[in-house]
Structure 1
Amino acid sequence: MIKVAIANQKGGVGKTTTAINLATGLAAMGWRVLLIDLDPQGNASTGLGVGPQARERSSYEVLIGTERLDDSVLSTRVPRLDLLPATQDLSGAEVELVGLDRRTHRLADALDAASQRWDICLVDCPPSLGLLTVNALVAARHLLVPLQCEFFALEGLSQLLQTVERIRTRFNPELSILGVALTMFDRRNRLSAQVAEDVRACLGNAVFETVVPRNVRLSEAPSHGLPALIYDLRCSGSTAYVGLARELLSRLPALKEAA
């Protein structure tokens, strides 16, 4: 199973939107996908139509060790896409994890003990670099970074890359950057184009060619409990995520052997 963490410690960069729609796109292409919601806000769960009342078991119990991952996963309305939901209990998980054995490897251990019925696992991380995100980076083989096309996003990217190097050194030497996805691109704003150019100059081929534009339909879809790809397949945001999923898929065959 390929394990990809979707992380950026800066909030509001389209991270959860990227996780939901990439998971949907990959499932539509025939991949068996597991999406893990590791954000206490639970937005990925809500965006897939899984309300709080349906989250009897969650990623919190899996991390703490009171439930098995296989017993906590829910099916979604998207064929071949399963979800490990999140609840607000995750807000206190970082404090509880400090006192547990292998506190940085809890998610990795849970995934290792799970059945191998999925081809790929995507982990939607919280907007921080705390223990929850560290767990995701230790468990994952690859990192996908959604990056908003604005100036401050570049500073956040630098901090994230430093964290990745520390994770590689201390816990997970196999962690690599799968790609940086440029999001919320405003074609009317010259700054967006400048930021995109700077990121490509810095990271080269690590940056996906597909750029996700600002799009109101992407914002509306979660309120209906649907991925944008189902809510409005023809909108510019959905079209971009279909392209991003295809681009991601083109990189995965080479990764499958190393996963």
Structure 2
Amino acid sequence: MGTVLAVVSQKGGVGKTTTAINLASALAQRGRKTLLIDVDPQGAVRHGMGLAPDAGVAGLADLLAGTHELQDVVQATPLPWLRVLLAGSVSEAAEHETYTANLADSTRLGELFDRARGRGYIVIVDSPPGLGAVTRRVLAHSQHVVVPLQCEPLALQTTTQILRAVREAAMANPALVLDGILLTMLEAGNDVSQRVAAYVREQLPAELLFDVAIPRTMASIDAFAAGQPVILRAPDDAAARAYQRLAELLEPRLA
């Protein structure tokens, strides 16, 4: 039996999608059967993975709408053990509303997760930023959650909210476990970034924090722009090594 891990954040721009992409890729590199699902209607996974330049490609939205079958929308990747399910045809504001309503009111997402788990997949879910209906639906059907936290002062204001939301979700879904908060975009030469990281480590219990932080590197920025996980494009980069370490830490928990 597989498992579902949701990557969630209170705000965008914290490295959520980059984390989902690289964690899924790192697990696949380790020989784990992995399915990356983009639940965010913004559809950033397709850019970061270099898949489907046509925004109208079918994906999760079409699966939820009942117009496509799973085998028609899951895409192969250069990694033999990694498959990707993109967000699908969600380009206009009205489509976003329809997608959100379909997902919030449907049992299809839970059925999809169960189906993938039954096939032995580790499912990595890139959730929308924020704690809206879609993210809450994802948490209701997940077993694990990772929270990226950008090393900047504004991000600290969201920590309490996201932890409260995860705690509330776990009350309704006792199988849900917070694996940890992941510090992201840590800049070695930036005093503010370093102070934020130090403050988080001082204020939060050690068991809530991963002992690895993701540095901000030009290689990781370039990799996303090029449509590749940094662990594939620049495997010796500090960010790539950090994501490999994250996969190493999580793999036993996801077994």
- Name 2:232's counterpart in structure 1: 230
Q: Residues 97-151 of structure 1, C-alpha deviation per residue, up to 9 Å, x if partnerless? A: 6766972644112222447334300000111222221221112111101110111
- Name 1:177's counterpart in structure 2: 178
* Paired residue secondary structure (1:41): coil
Q: Residues 213-234 of structure 1, C-alpha deviation per residue, up to 9 Å, x if partnerless? A: 1101111112222111111111
Note the residue ranges of structure 2 that are not aligned, 5 or more in a row: none
Q: For 1:55-134, list aligned pairs within 5 A.
A: 56-87=57-88, 89=90, 92=94, 95-96=97-98, 103=105, 105-114=107-116, 116-134=118-136
Q: Distance in 2 between matches of 1:187 and 1:208?
A: 18
- 1:205/1:165 Cα in 2 relative to 1: closer, same or farther (>3 Å)? closer
When normalised by structure 2's length, the TM-score is 0.88
Q: CA deviation at 1:159?
A: 1.1
- 1:55/1:88 Cα in 2 relative to 1: closer, same or farther (>3 Å)? closer
Measured on the aligned residues, the alpha-carbon RMSD in Å equals: 2.4
Task: Say if 1:34 and 1:120, in contact at 8 Å, map to a contact too.
Answer: yes
Q: Distance in 2 between matches of 1:196 and 1:118?
A: 36
Q: Distance in 2 between matches of 1:120 and 1:101?
A: 21
- 1:206/1:99 Cα in 2 relative to 1: closer, same or farther (>3 Å)? closer
Q: Distance in 1 between matches of 2:143 and 2:187?
A: 31
- Name 1:44's counterpart in structure 2: 45
In the alignment, structure 1 residue 191 sits paired with structure 2 residue 192: yes
Counterpart AA for 2:88: T
- Of stretches 60-69 and 70-79 in structure 1, the one that deviates more from structure 2 is 60-69
Q: Percent identity among equivalent residues?
A: 37
Counterpart AA for 2:148: P
Q: Distance in 1 between matches of 2:96 and 2:157?
A: 25
Task: Say if 1:60 and 1:93, in contact at 8 Å, map to a contact too.
Answer: no
When normalised by structure 1's length, the TM-score is 0.87
* Paired residue secondary structure (1:50): coil
Q: Distance in 2 between matches of 1:163 and 1:105?
A: 21
- 1:235/1:198 Cα in 2 relative to 1: closer, same or farther (>3 Å)? same
Q: Distance in 2 between matches of 1:122 and 1:98?
A: 19
The partner residue of 1:245 within 231, 247, 252 is: 247
Task: Say if 1:72 and 1:84, in contact at 8 Å, map to a contact too.
Answer: yes
Q: Residues 61-84 of structure 1, C-alpha deviation per residue, up to 9 Å, x if partnerless? A: 233344343442111112210000
Counterpart AA for 1:219: I
Task: Say if 2:90 and 2:99, in contact at 8 Å, map to a contact too.
Answer: no
- 1:132/1:76 Cα in 2 relative to 1: closer, same or farther (>3 Å)? same
* Paired residue secondary structure (1:211): coil
